[in-house]
Amino acid sequence: MLRTTLPSLLFVLVPCVGLAQQVELRSADEFISVEGEITGFNGVMLSVQTSVGQVSVPASEVICYGAACLDAIANPAFGLTAASFDGVEASEPPVVAEVASDDFVISFDASPQNMIYSRIAGGFIVAGGDASASLDDQGQLFLQNDAGNQTATISLAQAGDASELRVRTVPLRGTATAAFSGPVGWATATQLTHQQVALDAFAVIAAPNVGVDTVSVSQLAGIYAGDLTNWSQLGGADLTILPLQLPQDAALRNDKIAFIMEPEDKSIAANVLTLADETALALSVDQLPGSISVVSLAGAANSETLSVSGSCEVAVPPTPFYIASGDYPLIRPTMVIYDRAPNTALPTALFDFAASDTAQQLLVADGLSAVGGVVQDSAEKNARLSTVLNGSFEAVERPVAAQMFQTLFEAARLSPTLTGGPASAAEGALNRAMMQDLADMLRTPESANRELIFAGFATSDSGPEEAISASEQAAADVLSAFAEFAPDVVEAGNLTLSSYGFGGVSPATCYEGQVPGPTHTRVEAWLR
């Protein structure tokens, strides 16, 4: 802003079209602000006709804004001319940035989700960061970012209240509309509809005498629908299958229907035995021959759990690594779902915090699984790579198999595992949380000056050559997404980023994404 250098005058002027036009006179510290028509000037004081009468202000202490400033002061009655203001630049009043705000009401499909939210909110208040936060005795969360001129309020829904944020478990099986065309979309999105806040898993427990140690998701649905009635149908003992379940109002039972039964287009049979709680289920499975039940991971307690497979028959146990990586097919993500897009980045920052190690440790104390990054046991990694040496591959796959072994043999697999192609809103939320996990894992001094490898895997209806090509592209896309998501981590750790595509040579598990299509891809993170 340029001000005049005339004696006793302090003005920024804009050419005018008439004396009767309104102007604004504002002091440099904005303590004085007068709007009206200039009616007189005695060399010291300016007279202004305002809506409340005539006001006089010292000309040396104010700046004149408005199209009439120049003509008003250059009026012959004041003894000045337009030439007196040669070189004075035009200016508009300074723009005062509006405060962006959000006002959300949050609701929960089940009471444990209220606890999850409380832990996240409390941790966010303590952790601080770019935003400050406070919580009142009514459970109302206040968020503020002074640098971004943003505020947000999140209130707890009461009985009968409508809500714009809803916390619930979200199934990842089946098909869904693509919300993102690729990884950069969900990694860098600011207008999100889903964000993951916690991750749990189902556990499948069975009596010791059933004769099987694995079961597929499809077989589970068949057992509870009454289609499979004897363990010999699953390769086990000649023993009647006795499925057990929780009452109809149990959140876990409703999740089982949504996660296991509905994708198979099946319903629970009427003669399935119902017990009161998970404790009763676990005790009964240990005592009743042929019994089986689906419980939460915490509810499995000391019971023997079965490994579970998807359609590709690769059975995966419910270990912390396989749950965190999403290789275990019966994971139960809890997400916050937005009914409308936020105006600020504050809600997004709050629920991104949920994926941090700090937030996850708070949830672990309440019996939930830790979603934070996990390094795979080296024996498990080596067992997988050994299958590459002994595998039977088509000619186009053999050099890829050799490259996979050579590239990953001295590397460690990290749990974050990401969708490489189109993703639904729920998949995007899971991926974003995993990318946050990956960034957190790489902030440690031990990760500095190493190579971060994005290893792509794919299935394709068009054969192995197309699968290899799709996996290469998926890995490259995830690499680009991470470089945009966490450039500070890459730079601070002096990380080298590389990507490889291994087609369907040795996927850790089967993968059918939510978005239908002839090709599905997964990208693993490895550190060498």
Tens digits of residue pLDDT in 207-229: 999 999 999 999 999 999 999 99
Q: What is the DSSP letter of 61?
A: G
Among 248-257, 273-282, 393-402, the range with the most confident prediction by mean pLDDT is: 393-402
How does residue 65 score in pLDDT terms, banded at 50, 70 and 90? Answer: confident
Q: Taking the CA of residue 429 as centre, how many other CA atoms within 13 Å lie in the half-sphere pointing to its CB?
A: 28
Contacts of 406 (CB under 8 A, 6+ apart): none
Domain 209-303 has CATH 3.40.190.10: yes
Residue 453 contacts residue 410 (beta carbons within 8 Å): no
**272 band by pLDDT with thresholds 50, 70 and 90:** very high
Which token pair is 333?
């993500």
Residue 78 — very low, low, confident or very high, per pLDDT cuts 50/70/90?
A: low
Q: What is the pLDDT of residues 156-176, one digit of tens each?
A: 998 878 999 999 999 888 788
> How many CB atoms are closer than 10 A to CB 501?
26
Give me the pLDDT at residue 381, please.
Answer: 94
The domains of the chain are located at 1-96, 209-303, 374-527
Q: Which positions ≥6 away from 217 have C-beta within 8 Å?
A: 173, 260, 263, 264, 308, 309, 310, 329, 330
CATH number for region 374-527: 3.30.1330
pLDDT at 485: 96
Round to whole Å and give the CA distance between 520 and 510.
10
Q: What is the CATH code of the structural domain delimited by 1-96? A: 2.30.30.100
Query: What are the distances in angstroms from CA 74 to CA 68, 81, 433?
Result: 10, 4, 64
Pairwise CA distance, residues 457 & 472, whole Å: 8
pLDDT band at residue 357 under the 50/70/90 scheme: confident
Across residues 373-396, what is the average pLDDT? 91
Q: What is the pLDDT of residue 11?
A: 43
Q: What is the pLDDT of residues 27-53, one digit of tens each?
A: 776 666 778 888 777 767 778 888 777
b/e burial code for range 345-374 (CB count within 10 A of at least 16 → b):
bbbbbbbbbbbbbebbebbeeeebbbbbbb
Specify the range with the lowest mean pLDDT, choosing from 11-15, 244-248, 521-525: 11-15
How high is the pLDDT of residue 87? 56
Q: For the ranges 72-76, 83-87, 173-177, 329-333, which has the lowest average pLDDT?
A: 83-87
Choose among 226, 316, 233, 315: nearest CA to 271: 226
Per-residue pLDDT band for 16 (boundaries 50, 70, 90) equals: very low
What average pLDDT score do residues 347-369 get?
Answer: 81
Task: Determine the Cα–Cα distance for residues 205 and 245; give it in Å rounded to an integer.
Answer: 12
Phi then psi for residue 527, to 5 deg, are -125, 125
Among 9-18, 211-220, 351-360, the range with the most confident prediction by mean pLDDT is: 211-220
pLDDT tens digits, one per residue of 462-501 = 999 999 999 999 999 999 999 999 999 999 999 999 999 9
- Percent above pLDDT 90 for the chain: 56
How far apart are alpha carbons 318 and 328 in whole angstroms? 6
Tell me the mean pLDDT in the region 81-91: 56
**pTM for this model (two decimals):** 0.78
Q: What is the mean pLDDT of the chain?
A: 86
Q: Is the pLDDT of residue 90 over 60?
A: no
Token look-up 């009452």 returns 247
- pLDDT of res. 256: 92
pLDDT for res 6: 34
> Is the pLDDT at 94 greater than 70, yes or no?
no
Q: In what order do the strands lie in the sheet with 451-460?
A: 412-419, 519-527, 451-460, 496-501
If one counts every other C-beta atom within 10 angstroms of the C-beta of residue 272, the result is: 15
How far is Cα 152 from Cα 105, in angstroms, rounded to an integer?
Answer: 11
Burial of 184 (0-12, 13-18, 19+ CB in 10 A): middle
Angle at alpha carbon of residue 294, lines to 289 and 298, rounded to 5°: 110
Residues 121-138 pLDDT 10s: 999 998 877 788 999 988
pLDDT confidence of residue 73? 61
What is the H or E stretch that residue 438 is in? helix 425-441
Q: Model confidence at 370, in pLDDT bands (50, 70, 90)?
A: low
Q: Over range 433-444, report the average pLDDT.
A: 93
By mean pLDDT, which of 80-84, 135-139, 258-262, 291-295 is the weakest?
A: 80-84
- Kindly report the backbone phi and psi dihedral angles of residue 498, in degrees, each rounded to the nearest multiple of 5, phi listed first: -145, 160
- 519 with 458: CB under 8 angstroms? yes
Q: How confident is the model at residue 9 (pLDDT cuts 50, 70, 90)?
A: very low
pLDDT band at 301 (very low <50, low <70, confident <90, very high): confident
| Cα distance between residue 59 and residue 11, in whole Å | 8
For residue 285, the tally of other CB atoms under 10 A from its CB is: 25
Does 18 have pLDDT greater than 70?
Answer: no
Task: Give the mean model confidence (pLDDT) for residues 373-385.
Answer: 92
**What are the tens digits of pLDDT across the range 395-430?**
999 999 999 999 999 999 999 999 899 999 999 999
Q: Determine phi and psi for 107, rounding to 5 degrees.
A: -130, 170
Separation CA 195–CA 388 (nearest Å):
36
